[in-house]
Amino acid sequence: MSAPVIEVRRLTRRFGDFTAVDAVEFEVQPGEIFGYLGANGAGKSTTIRMLCGLLAPTEGHATVAGHDIARDPRAVKRAIGYMSQKFSLYLDLTPTENLSFFAGAYGLQGAERRRRVEAALVESELTERRDTLTRDLPGGVRQRLALVSARLHRPQVLFLDEPTAGVAPDARRAFWREIRALARAGTTLFVTTHHLDEAEFCGRVGLMVDGRLVALDTPDGLKKAHVPGVFLSVFAQGGDLREALRGVDGVLGLQPFGRRLRVRMAADAPLAGPEALAAHLRARGIDGVEVERGDASLEDVFLELVRRSEKQEA
Ligand SMILES: Nc1ncnc2c1ncn2[C@@H]1O[C@H](COP(=O)(O)OP(=O)(O)O)[C@@H](O)[C@H]1O
Ligand SMILES: [Mg+2]
């Protein structure tokens, strides 16, 4: 296995006596899409800013592309691309001007600078809007421009902080297609999001709760470890479903989902199948029962882990 591109050891950042990032540890491999998830205030942006050499850690260590973030933040900045949570684009400049500005900031000059700017406009399909003010571009287009701006100097690592916040669903999907293509071509991606559906596109996902990394695995690994069992989605015309499920062996959790109730059940429970559960509910007098097999989602994992960490604190 090759050396990790990002190595993080007990990385900590305090603001006064408040700990925003608390002894976080992980590694990211070349070409991996690493998702960093958590609610607002969990410590995602603070972690990214430390890893980009923009904010000094209070304690702990990290290297990015072989450079120590505390000892050599300038080398880190050269090796990475960073798309900040608040867009770094200048709204009263055109795409051409924004790209030219970033190219200069990354040390590209003269013909090479012009060549990269042209290539970026073509690559992000912005040639027709090259002279439109950035503020007049739709969110998804601005997104593409911000991404291509962060990549002008061909960094081996890209840090994207909530790149799809406020972007329409179809533009989000297009954006993720691009992220995956970049990873296939060898770029390492560190992406924060609070869209849990997007985390499914990540190779591995780290979950942050109150500054702590409470779980880290592949999306499937997280589901198996934290919300094991079978998910059954139950619909009924009439009757008290919760009451009818009382005392049923192996029920691990109930969660309303629109007009349905999602039931999580131990895989070896007697009623852990759509037909068996439907028959039981009919026998308990529930009308118009439909039961379908469902899937665990990262939302389930997240809720479970947040609940667990709140319980620990109580
Ligand atoms: N410069 C700062 N001074 C004081 N507190 C900060 C500063 N930056 C972030 N914080 C606090 O640290 C916590 C984590 O923030 P942040 O990393 O931005 O979270 P996230 O990106 O997950 O929403 C928040 O409670 C935030 O208010
Ligand atoms: Mg943030």
| d(C-alpha 208, C-alpha 261), whole Å | 28
- Residue 13: per-residue pLDDT: 98
Query: Is the model's pLDDT at 45 over the cut of 70?
Result: yes
pTM confidence score: 0.89
Asked if residue 72 is part of any domain, the answer here is yes
Last residue of a domain, which of 175, 197, 222? 222
Q: What is the span of the domain harbouring residue 87?
A: 6-222
Residues 266, 205: contact at Cβ < 8 Å? no
Query: Is the model's pLDDT at 147 over the cut of 70?
Result: yes
Give the position, in ligand 1's atom list, of the atom nearest the Cα of 46: 17
Query: Is the model's pLDDT at 31 over the cut of 90?
Result: yes
Q: pLDDT tens digits for 207-219?
A: 999 999 999 999 9
Q: Residue 268 sits in a domain of what CATH number?
A: 3.30.70.100
Instruction: Band the pLDDT of 259: cuts 50, 70, 90.
Output: confident
Asked if residue 282 is part of any domain, the answer here is yes
Asked if residue 304 is part of any domain, the answer here is no
**Are 64 and 174 within one domain?**
yes
Residues flanking ligand 1, CB < 6 Å:
15, 20, 38, 40-46
- Residue 143: per-residue pLDDT: 87
**Are 170 and 23 within one domain?**
yes
Last residue of a domain, which of 172, 201, 222? 222
Residues with Cβ within 8 Å of residue 164, at least 6 apart in sequence: 143, 171, 172, 175, 176, 193, 195, 198
**Are 189 and 64 within one domain?**
yes
Asked if residue 310 is part of any domain, the answer here is no
Asked if residue 29 is part of any domain, the answer here is yes
**Are 117 and 263 within one domain?**
no
| d(C-alpha 52, C-alpha 64), whole Å | 8
**Are 123 and 252 within one domain?**
no
Between the CA of 50 and the centroid of ligand 1 the distance, in Å, is: 12
Asked if residue 163 is part of any domain, the answer here is yes
Q: How many domains does the chain have?
A: 2
- Residue 140: per-residue pLDDT: 85
**Are 281 and 134 within one domain?**
no
**Are 117 and 233 within one domain?**
no
Return the bridge partners of 15, or none: 18
**Are 16 and 73 within one domain?**
yes
Query: Is the model's pLDDT at 44 over the cut of 90?
Result: yes
- Residue 119: per-residue pLDDT: 95
Asked if residue 301 is part of any domain, the answer here is no
Tokens matching residue 289: 């029962």
Residues with Cβ within 8 Å of residue 209, at least 6 apart in sequence: 38, 39, 42, 305, 306, 309
Tokens matching residue 26: 């992980």
Q: pLDDT tens digits for 223-242?
A: 999 999 999 999 999 889 99
Task: Tell whether the torsion through CA atoms of 127, 164, 155 and 181 is positive or negative.
Answer: negative
**Are 114 and 170 within one domain?**
yes
**Are 86 and 126 within one domain?**
yes
Q: Is 68 helix (H, G, I), strand (E, B) or coil?
A: strand
266-270: long-range contacts, CB 8 A cutoff, minimum separation 24: 266/228, 266/229, 266/230, 267/228, 267/229, 267/230, 269/230
Instruction: Band the pLDDT of 177: cuts 50, 70, 90.
Output: very high
- Name the nearest CA neighbour of 29 among 181, 152, 203, 216: 203
> Alpha helices, DSSP H only, in the chain?
44-51, 73-79, 95-105, 110-123, 139-150, 169-184, 196-199, 219-226, 241-245, 274-283, 298-313
| Ion ligand 2 residue ranges (Cβ < 5 Å) | 44-45, 85
**Are 202 and 286 within one domain?**
no
**Are 208 and 156 within one domain?**
yes
Asked if residue 173 is part of any domain, the answer here is yes
Least confidently predicted of 16-30, 50-64, 88-102? 88-102
Nearest residue by C-alpha to atom 26 in ligand 1: 41
Burial pattern 76-94, b for ≥16 Cβ within 10 A else e, equals bbebbbbbbeebebeeeeb
Q: Residue 151 sits in a domain of what CATH number?
A: 3.40.50.300
Task: Tell whether the torsion through CA atoms of 24, 26, 30 and 34 is positive or negative.
Answer: negative
Report the residue among 15, 161, 212 best suited for mutation to probe ligand 1: largest number of ligand atoms under 8 A from its CB: 15
Q: Is 303 helix (H, G, I), strand (E, B) or coil?
A: helix
Query: Is the model's pLDDT at 87 over the cut of 80?
Result: no
| d(C-alpha 263, C-alpha 193), whole Å | 27
Tokens matching residue 261: 């109730």
- Residue 1: per-residue pLDDT: 58
Q: Which ligand is nearest to the CA of 20?
A: 1
Query: Is the model's pLDDT at 76 over the cut of 80?
Result: yes
Query: Is the model's pLDDT at 54 over the cut of 90?
Result: yes
Query: Is the model's pLDDT at 196 over the cut of 70?
Result: yes
Span 174-194, average pLDDT: 94
Residues 199, 164: contact at Cβ < 8 Å? no
Span 85-105, average pLDDT: 90
| d(C-alpha 182, C-alpha 123), whole Å | 12
Last residue of a domain, which of 195, 222, 249? 222
Q: Who wins on pLDDT, 25 or 168?
A: 25
